[in-house]
Structure 1
């Protein structure tokens, strides 16, 4: 059997095995490093473990963090920098070199879960390079005998067209031209789509229409109805909008991972520690229940972020999404398990 035929056979097997029901139930936290006063990686990994946080997302292949994660068991989402994707798309050797430099040396000690190729770059000009880069990274993993790491990409809500109610969810034309072939890649490889969603921004964009209780999971009854389905919180509605869009793109069995979500504790309207605490705690307690379109299917979710990062911007509010201050004290009390 040729290497290419073997590769295709494995793709078919993976496609048959991995469906929505195989997704991992987990609450993770995004570990951003845009601060000049953050604790060293070894202390951060110890914080994850002491708080019962079993999954982490990082935004660049930082070898100090990878070294600190060795033997921890914490599941990791990692990816190349956006500016590196074009070269990885154009040249398989570049993708192979990235895997050789950042995955292979750690694959026996770090629990890699996803390689995220491109963070929120659809529908920007670089978006055309995402799928070729994903294909090259996937091939590099396969030919390195690494078969357990899923290759994917993360998108923001700006890939959606007008999508109310959730069943009307669809990718707008410019995004669909990029995403529809990516969805077929995800189907073939049993990989989920990563989505970055922020109910905080949806609420603050139209507070007269969306009750705060709906955004904070505190509604006592159905707020929005979509045919036979009723929505008691904005999170479910936002996730199910993506579910409907995936169905329309031929990805009804593609899993969704919420790879960024959070509520700021300061910096703008609606941003305060009490709302942030209520939102994040209710989110943690809710995600195992699924959504109206996928009831009982847990949603793997990554809170943004671990720390208040004093070098984030340009908006001041971006500095205040952290669960912890850089001195490792909590911004507000929260329970992860």
Structure 2
């Protein structure tokens, strides 16, 4: 959704801090990042772009074409993949003029402003099984209309139209779980054959999102070490190929699927790959660092996969944590960021592939709200009367995912769980004193309420000038069960 900075003075102050600097040397492999903006308190895009440049990141993948975000890329030297979200597919299919308008407003205008647009993504994972076929009949027509619009605007050779797809569009049978047995899903096989041949005819790549973490999350019997790249598990053998990790096996399953679809040499971009740091027992900093360490070493060596050795173009998922993402896939969904909500790196990695493991450069100029927290008032009268409803309300309107089983704040006490819920709501509401009342059950303190490895955050000053209401009711029934076991 579009966001605009309302506080002009703040914007000017931030921009004064963002003096031009040369882009650092690019990494050995083509490693970009996914930049999502589904957070209640966004960081100024210009500050984010300067952080990207400081870390040598020269390409980003966006999930829309929000003018405020895209404008910050102008003249930066950072390549961009813009996107038309799934909710625009129907209009793009129904009326080709919508595609022409989209190209005029989002491609032509941004190119003229100095944004280096390289790709236009039509939809995002539109064939996910969880969508129950909602976008199956409209994705390909939208893709063709967008390609035609780019051609008419004179950009067809320079900018490629793609469809980022989840790895659930292909698989191998259970009785033969090896890459060579892979093919596209039966329900979309004919459609996928049409799409990949269309993309190939236009010299466009296939964009796939691969998540080793999800293999582990979705299958309790999945071997943990097969998710990583340090050779600590038994390999899989397939027609003379050796697979020591699930990423290679998954990628080559796609290669086989493309072969069977008649495009064996089609270029592949990994649109999303990463590891979350909270929201699940296997989502933590330790495993994320282990994953990225092995993955980035692999990218720097340009070894590719057994079937596709050599250079790969990949986009890490994701740049910054997003507290407004849906948690229907899992509570970890809001914790994929390499950076925390306030633009600080979570762990040290070798992003550039030069053998130096360091913390990434943080976002500069981030301002915080006052150092105060909202906590449970143990002295409140009738403190247990309205407590469940109050915690329910707080967690329905703010992000309580760290309280879930296996998460960073799962070990809090009875009172700690309550305080976390009250504080995260208080911070989300920009520390409005009315957001720390709950009928007298809460109080404001200047003593840091964080406990052990559980951070009670102080929110940043939002440069959008507003707080977007958080409606997380679909989370409550699942999350609050685990919270109330301690109440």
In structure 2, the residue corresponding to 1:258 is in which secondary structure? strand
In structure 1, the residue corresponding to 2:258 is in which secondary structure? helix
Question: Is the aligned partner of 1:216 residue 2:228?
Answer: yes
Question: Is the aligned partner of 1:113 residue 2:118?
Answer: yes
What is the match of residue 98 of structure 2? 94
Distance 1:143 1:281 in 2: 44
TM-superposed CA distance for 1:310, in Å, is 1.2
Distance 1:141 1:25 in 2: 28
What is the match of residue 190 of structure 2? 177
Question: Is the aligned partner of 1:155 residue 2:168?
Answer: no
Contact 1:187 1:253 in 2 (8 A): no
TM-superposed CA distance for 1:203, in Å, is 2.0
Contact 2:227 2:246 in 1 (8 A): yes
Q: Cα 1:161–1:331, aligned 2, differ >3 Å: closer, same or farther? A: same
Q: Name which one, 1 or 2, has greater alpha-carbon Rg.
A: 2
> Please, which of 143, 146, 152 is the counterpart of residue 143 of structure 1?
152
Unaligned runs of 5+ in 1: 1-23
Instruction: Tell me the alpha carbon deviations over residues 269-297 of structure 1, each in whole angstroms, 9 at most, x when there is no partner.
Output: 2111011011122212213211001112x
Contact 2:172 2:253 in 1 (8 A): no
Once the two structures are superposed, the pairs formed by residues 38-49 of structure 1 within 5 Å of their partners are: 38-49=42-53
Question: Is the aligned partner of 1:125 residue 2:130?
Answer: no
Contact 2:182 2:253 in 1 (8 A): yes
Contact 1:309 1:319 in 2 (8 A): yes
In structure 1, the residue corresponding to 2:276 is in which secondary structure? coil
Distance 1:173 1:95 in 2: 30
What is the match of residue 325 of structure 1? 340
Question: Is the aligned partner of 1:290 residue 2:304?
Answer: yes
Larger mean Cα displacement after TM superposition, 228-237 or 282-291: 282-291
Larger mean Cα displacement after TM superposition, 199-208 or 139-148: 199-208
> Please, which of 224, 227, 243 is the counterpart of residue 255 of structure 2?
243
More helix per residue: 1 or 2? 1
In structure 1, the residue corresponding to 2:138 is in which secondary structure? helix
TM-superposed CA distance for 1:76, in Å, is 0.9
> Please, which of 252, 258, 279 is the counterpart of residue 291 of structure 2?
279
In structure 1, the residue corresponding to 2:137 is in which secondary structure? helix
Distance 2:83 2:221 in 1: 38
Question: Is the aligned partner of 1:59 residue 2:59?
Answer: no
Which one scores higher on RCO, CA 8 angstroms, separation ≥ 6? 1
Instruction: Tell me the alpha carbon deviations over residues 69-112 of structure 1, each in whole angstroms, 9 at most, x when there is no partner.
Output: 00111111111111111111122111000001111011141111
What is the match of residue 272 of structure 2? 260
TM-superposed CA distance for 1:162, in Å, is 3.0
What is the match of residue 9 of structure 1? none
TM-superposed CA distance for 1:208, in Å, is 3.4
Contact 1:222 1:230 in 2 (8 A): no
Distance 1:25 1:256 in 2: 14
Instruction: Tell me the alpha carbon deviations over residues 169-226 of structure 1, each in whole angstroms, 9 at most, x when there is no partner.
Output: 100111212211001111101111111111001023335342x222110115761111
Question: Is the aligned partner of 1:36 residue 2:40?
Answer: yes
Q: Cα 1:174–1:33, aligned 2, differ >3 Å: closer, same or farther? A: same
Distance 2:294 2:51 in 1: 21
Q: Cα 1:317–1:208, aligned 2, differ >3 Å: closer, same or farther? A: same
In structure 2, the residue corresponding to 1:61 is in which secondary structure? coil
